[in-house]
């Protein structure tokens, strides 16, 4: 940690990145304004009710009570900031990056920008965004020049929701600046509450590094998903084969197949990179192929269900199929891009009667479907087939094996159990 100097900090966007950042900066002693235009979210924050799993309500209430954290939707509350961090969504629209939220955030900050202040972009995006979009918007609204009059740079977020080991505090933080003074200012700010700051030469390097991190996972997951399809045809347990390969102490890192990709990062971020390469006349075929494979995994899962039921002389139509877990990853409530949604829709389209259990998602509304989470074991007993989509640690898998008639396991949650009831991915 560096020598501490309290600053007035604005965090634009109070989502799964912005809330942990705002609370941690407040805990470090900074005076933090969390800007959030969504009235529902703003109301929850003001009442000390956290909707971000990595920030318990007690921790949020403590930050509020300290007077160091104040959520707002009023632009005038942003006046006189020393540091502003932009942590807003960057979705894809028809495979094209939508940076409107980033542009709006920069435009909102620009009238309050003062000489010597610092602005950092944390939203995931393509290389060049900080220099080509954020800088010009800030300059146009303030009349101040990036580098010469204020500090500007990029620092990629590395939040892994639900990860208790690697948090904002102890995950190395990449930082960059449009010039040396910007880099120094940004590094010093993050060093007040992050254990390790890693500087890189330019914002475009940090922007690309973030996309490399997620593309690495994207393509490796696609590889094992394709291998899972191949192994299924050969009647080989892909999980056992990967575990065997993982005994090699060098040159290998294990990835495991699943029902598809979920969350904001892995299913989306690689396509920022492929979009950018297309602008340069280069086809990112590896990324596109990985996207195709991962995107088809829900269909592969439904085929598994269909074949499993068929082997028990039951059609999908009219069968009761119970989904175990609908969040995109274990032990969180985040539904963004969850493959469970596609699996449910595909099963419903085939005429199945679908139900689900998820302790983190009490109700699910999707394209005219309105379902409430059921008690897992009771529902499993009534189902013709149980499909494990999200392997939350709270589920008792031994009891599930006793309760269910048939299990399609897409997460290797039944590892260690041997039963004719189990159909593995």
Q: Are 157 and 121 in contact (CB under 8 A)?
A: no
Question: What is the Cα 203 distance to its own chain's centre?
Answer: 22
Distance set, CA 235 to CA 232, 311, 414 (Å) = 5, 15, 17
Question: What size, in residues, is the chain?
Answer: 425
Three-state DSSP at 200 gives coil
Q: Which residues fall within 8 angstroms of residue 86, CB to CB, at 6 or more apart?
A: 12, 13, 102, 105, 106, 109, 119, 120, 121, 122, 123, 134
Q: Are 14 and 36 in contact (CB under 8 A)?
A: yes
* Residue 73 designated active-site: no
Of the residues 73, 145, 265, 385, only one is catalytic, namely 265
Residue bearing tokens 């969350």: 263
Determine the Cα–Cα distance for residues 228 and 234; give it in Å rounded to an integer. Answer: 10
Residue 118: beta bridge partners? 83, 151
Instruction: Please give the span between the terminal C-alpha atoms of the chain, in angstroms, as a whole number.
Output: 46
H/E element holding 276? helix 269-279
DSSP string, 91-126: -EETTEE--HHHHHHHHHHGGG--TT-EEEE-S---
Residue 320: beta bridge partners? 353
Residue bearing tokens 């199945």: 352
3-state secondary structure 365-389: EECCEEEECCCHHHHHHHCCEEEEC
Q: Active-site residues: which are they? A: 265
């Amino acid at each position: 940690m560096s020598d501490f100097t309290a600053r007035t900090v604005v965090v634009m966007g109070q989502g799964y990145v912005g809330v942990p950042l705002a609370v941690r900066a407040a805990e470090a002693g900074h005076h933090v304004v969390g800007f959030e235009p969504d009235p529902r979210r703003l109301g929850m924050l003001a009442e000390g009710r956290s909707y971000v799993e990595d920030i318990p309500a007690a921790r949020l209430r403590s930050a509020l009570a300290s007077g160091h954290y104040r959520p707002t939707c009023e632009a005038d509350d942003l006046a006189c900031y020393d540091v502003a961090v932009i942590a807003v969504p960057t979705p894809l629209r028809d495979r094209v990056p939508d940076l409107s939220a980033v542009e709006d955030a920069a435009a909102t900050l620009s009238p309050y920008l003062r000489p010597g202040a610092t602005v950092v972009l944390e939203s995931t995006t393509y290389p060049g965004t900080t220099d080509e979009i954020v800088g010009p918007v800030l300059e146009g609204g303030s009349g101040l020049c990036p580098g010469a009059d204020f500090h500007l740079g990029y620092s990629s977020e590395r939040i892994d929701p639900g990860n208790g080991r690697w948090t904002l505090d102890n995950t190395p933080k990449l930082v960059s600046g449009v010039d040396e003074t910007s880099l120094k200012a940004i590094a010093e700010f993050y060093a007040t509450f992050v254990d390790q700051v890693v500087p890189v030469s330019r914002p475009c390097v940090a922007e690309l590094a973030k996309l490399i991190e997620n593309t690495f996972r994207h393509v490796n997951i696609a590889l094992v998903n394709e291998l899972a399809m191949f192994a299924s045809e050969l009647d080989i347990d892909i999980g056992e084969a990967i575990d065997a390969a993982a005994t090699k102490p060098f040159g290998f890192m294990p990835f495991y197949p699943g029902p598809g990709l979920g969350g904001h990062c892995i299913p989306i971020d690689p396509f920022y990179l492929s979009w950018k390469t297309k602008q340069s006349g280069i086809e990112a075929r590896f990324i596109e192929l990985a996207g195709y494979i991962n995107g088809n995994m829900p269909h592969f899962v439904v085929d598994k269900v269909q074949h499993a039921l068929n082997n028990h002389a039951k059609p999908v139509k009219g069968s009761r199929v119970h989904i175990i877990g609908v969040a995109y990853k274990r032990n969180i409530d985040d539904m963004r891009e969850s493959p469970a949604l596609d699996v449910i829709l595909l099963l419903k389209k085939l005429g199945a009667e679908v139900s689900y259990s998820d302790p983190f998602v009490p109700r699910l509304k999707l394209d005219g479907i309105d379902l409430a989470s059921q008690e897992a074991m009771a529902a499993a007993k009534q189902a013709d087939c149980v499909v494990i989509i999200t392997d939350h640690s709270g589920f008792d898998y031994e009891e599930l094996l006793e309760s269910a008639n048939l299990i399609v396991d897409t997460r290797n949650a039944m590892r260690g159990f041997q039963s004719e009831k189990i159909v593995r991915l």
